[in-house]
Structure 1
Amino acid sequence: MSKYQSVLAHLYPPVSYNINGEQFTAQCAVDGQAFDCLQASAEAILNVIEPVTSNNLLADWERLCGITTDVSKTYSERVKRVIIQLNTIGGLSIPYFLRLAESIGYTIQIKEFSPLKNDLPNAGDIPIQNSPTERLIFMWRVTVINGDDNIIYFRAGQSLAGDRLVDFGDPIIEEFFEDLKPAHTYCYFAYQ
């Protein structure tokens, strides 16, 4: 029995309608199911107010934020990406990036290098061979304290020529920084 079926039956005046009649009961059942669907739809739309509870309508949040829907990612990864995009009002300062990373659950440290102070990254950290010193002022390191460092080892038969012997990283935080960092800068990641 529909939740609204009995309510609809009692809305009609009992003198004018036989509320126990077969056709009247059938009509109330059909109308009650329509109101049940309407109620469920209204509750689903109410849940879309926040990306976390939007369920099947998360793709609409991604569309509004300019994010390509990637169904190969988990629901929580997709929600984090939407929240990142919503929080990106603007800014290029270190505290801005720290707050943004913290809003999605990451603890990070950012280090800017300065060739003027003879503060350069280690030679093994990044490809700085043959890089002019002027370019090194646009380089910074993001140290991810609590990231999901997925370690992928080179394996015979599975890896191809040119693949790294060990590859690691957290795609959520790395994509986030690649999208938001100034275009003229080089950002690399370290994991603890």
Structure 2
Amino acid sequence: MEHKQVLAGLYPPVAYDVGGEQFLIQCEVDGRAFDRLQQKATAVLNAISPEESGSLLVDWERVCGLATDLSLSYSERVNRVIVQLNAVGGLSIPYFTQLAESIGYQIVIKEFSPLQHDLPETGDLVQFRQEPEENLIFMWRVTVGNGDSNIVYFRAGNSCAGEPLVSFGDAIIEEFFRDLKPAHTYCYFAYSS
């Protein structure tokens, strides 16, 4: 039932002209205000969970410390919020693996140990050649099996000097790992098909 009908029924017919034009116009105006208020209240009630929060998803992102990225679909944005909410903390490989699986990624994590002469492959080490070997103990690689690698190649006319010949990465999984990894570690990503 619309609020204008409820409002019209609240006034005593002895004191008010409930059929009068001005009275009905006032009930219409007030009723629309209450209808909008009811819609907003329902939206706030639905916002108790990120999946059904609608336009209030930006508030979930703000509370979780996530930047609102409107280039992502609604479901991708909801997944980012859920991952952030589920991220109660942990430092173990199973924790990060389970976290990635919760948003649909299959990953393998490899920790390196220079003390046991277990280092990244030679091609990977090139990017770390400035690092002392003892710092490599805090490095780990996440191999993403089903990520969207978004490969971008250097193209004459479209690219500028100084850009890499090829760049790739899945922004969603990489952003979460960078946010949740221990601060003293370095995490890099590899993609397999």
Partner of 2:176: 176
User: Structure 2: how far apart are the matches of 1:152 and 1:190?
Assistant: 15
2:57 paired residue number? 58
Partner AA of 2:111 in structure 1: E
Task: Write the letter of the residue equivalent to 1:134.
Answer: E
Larger helix share, 1 or 2: 2
Provide the C-alpha distance between the structure 1 equivalents of 2:45 and 2:131, rounded to a whole number of angstroms.
54
What percent identity do the matched residue pairs reach?
A: 67
- Structure 1: where are the runs of 5+ without partners? none
In structure 2, how many angstroms separate the alpha carbons of the residues matched to 1:23 and 1:160? 69
Q: Distance in 1 between matches of 2:20 and 2:132?
A: 89
- Report the more deviating stretch, 6-15 or 153-162: 6-15
Q: In structure 1, what is the Cα distance between the partners aligned to 2:167 and 2:178? A: 18
Distance 2:189 2:145 in 1: 11
1:139 corresponds to 2:139:
yes
Q: Following the alignment from structure 1 to structure 2, what is the Cα–Cα distance between the partners of residues 33 and 110?
A: 56
Is the partner of 1:162 in helix, strand or coil? coil
Tell me the residue number matched to 2:188. Answer: 188
The count of residues paired between Structure 1 and Structure 2 equals 191
SS of the residue 2:189 aligns to: strand
Distance 1:130 1:21 in 2: 85
Deviations 1:139-183 (A, max 9, x none): 111011221110101110111122121111101111111122122
Aligned to 2:151: 151
Give, as a single letter, the amino acid of the residue that structure 2 aligns with 1:53. Answer: E
1:20 is matched with which residue? 19
How far residue 121 of structure 1 moved from its aligned partner, in angstroms, is: 1.6
The offset of 1:75, in angstroms, is: 3.6
Q: TM-score, normalised by structure 2?
A: 0.86
Summarize deviations over 1:50-81 as a string: whole Å, max 9, x none: 22322222222222222333445444443333
Counterparts in 2 of 1:1-192, with a 5 A limit? Answer: 3-126=2-125, 127-129=127-129, 131-192=131-192
- TM-score where L is the length of structure 1: 0.86
* Secondary structure of 2:188 counterpart: strand
